[in-house]
Amino acid sequence: MAGVRVAALVASLGLASCATLPYAPRPLATPGDLMGVQSKTVEDVTVTVAILTDEQSERHFGVDLAAHDLQALWARVRNASRQRLWVIGSVLERDFYSPDEAAFLMRSEVPKDAFEDLRQRLRDSALRARFEPATETEGFVILPRTEGGRYLEVLLTTDAYQAELEQASGAAAGPQERRFDFALPLPDGDFDYERLDPARVYAGRELPDIDLDRLRAELERLPCCATNANGTRDGDPLNVVIVGDAPEVLGALSRSGWSFTHRIDLRTIGREVGAAISGAAYPVAPVSSLYALGRKHDLALQRARRSIAQRNHMRLWLAPFTCQGRMVWIGQVSRDIGVKATPKSPTLTTHVIDPAVDTTREYLLHSLLAQGLVGSFGFVKGSAPATPSEARVNLTDDPYFSDGLRLVVVLAPEPVPLSAVRSLLWEQSAAPMTEGQSGAAAGNVRPLAPVEVASP
């Protein structure tokens, strides 16, 4: 055993014999060979990005980035402006890897005499930090690896030295900064969003397009809750509605910290059970199936926490109507606070939900508001009202209570400040944290002495 430990240590230090290690980079054609390429233009600057799959990264660089929990981002910046621009790297990814750092991590994967070539290749292919006027620049950034996809924000700012010179000469100043945001899915065959095709959900049907007033009425007529597969038992309340087309929804939730989820299959179930036993995190763990509108949920997302037992998760169903030309998604959101054994789950285990489901509903709203992604919001009747003393239960007998309202969020096409967010002026929701408090909590609120207002 001591010899095994020494060998592992030697390999980790890059001292093992590497004569037979392969190193044969086969550069990709960019962006032609890449998947999911996205491009955005602000003023006279265009940024184009894509994340390489693990297989593409290994082919392009000749080393296995995924084995070291790394991922390659390709980016192109077309600067048609008259300004010199800088990219703020810590906004793009605060934990990005420098070329030399990445090469050092992967030094044991290449023959000793190939290390300098690998390091120089990573240096030469790195995206530059500065973009001169009237140029098009491309390159790679090495990032910590994520599964399923990631939200990226590219912040370009003007060169301070050039800006001061222009100001001193009286030249007109251009935009000081330009922001580009991207939600980049990374297919690997296991994620439920990969099978999402909104056009097929209601294929052959012409969906009615309704206004906000009729939207309120339609939402109030929907069932209170998700159900089991045959619709004989109610489960968790349908307590959220999001208005926005599929790319908008995926982008907004990704930007707000919500991640995609794996589909349920033998491999992901095994990984989920292993994580539950060890207490490890599984940030893209699958979500059990619930049913509404005659089918299983169309999409699921979650905001993972430090272990698989703790997460916020949400299921979404595409509604059979649109609102002002945009898709409408009916959803169920709740917070997992633990894991329990139950014969009512196909995996014999399930998550325990936080009974104060309105708090999680508010959490979703706040996560979107914080990123400026809410144009307007309101509440409608139609969920499942219950009190702590007379709680309802879901399909695995977890109790919950709620004011019985559904949160409705109309996504903003572009980020807006909080002062620009509008209320739909429908129902008034309860204050979530007070719903589960007893009379003893009344002492936490004390009136202040009246404030005298001076006469003008």
pLDDT tens by residue, 336-390: 766 655 656 655 556 667 888 998 899 899 999 999 999 999 999 999 899 999 9
| Tens digit of each residue's pLDDT (9 = 90 or more) over 5-20 | 433 443 444 444 334 4
Q: What is the band of 164 on the pLDDT scale with cuts at 50, 70, 90?
A: confident
The reported pLDDT for the residue numbered 433 is 65
Q: What is the band of 300 on the pLDDT scale with cuts at 50, 70, 90?
A: confident
pTM for the model:
0.75
- pLDDT reading at 261 higher than 90: no
pLDDT, mean over the chain: 84
Compute the half-sphere exposure of residue 382: CA atoms within 13 Å on the CB side of its CA.
Answer: 23
Q: Tell me whether strands 240-243 and 405-411 are parallel, antiparallel or unpaired.
A: parallel
The reported pLDDT for the residue numbered 196 is 76
The reported pLDDT for the residue numbered 285 is 65
- pLDDT reading at 328 higher than 70: yes
The amino acid present at 217, given as its one-letter code, is A
CA distances for 359 relative to 10, 157, 279, angstroms: 51, 38, 25
Of 362, 328, 316, 292, the closest CA to residue 215 belongs to: 328
Please give the residue that has the higher pLDDT: either 415 or 263. Answer: 415
The reported pLDDT for the residue numbered 444 is 85
The reported pLDDT for the residue numbered 395 is 87
Q: Return the percentage of the chain with pLDDT > 70, whole number.
A: 80
Q: What is the band of 168 on the pLDDT scale with cuts at 50, 70, 90?
A: confident
The secondary structure element, H or E, covering residue 399 is strand 399-400
CA distance 402 to 190: 34
Residue ranges per structural domain of the chain: 15-185, 192-435
Torsion, CA 247, CA 367, CA 281, CA 234, rounded to 10: -80
Q: What are phi and psi of 427, to 5 degrees?
A: -90, 155
pLDDT (average), residues 264-283: 63
pLDDT (average), residues 391-408: 92
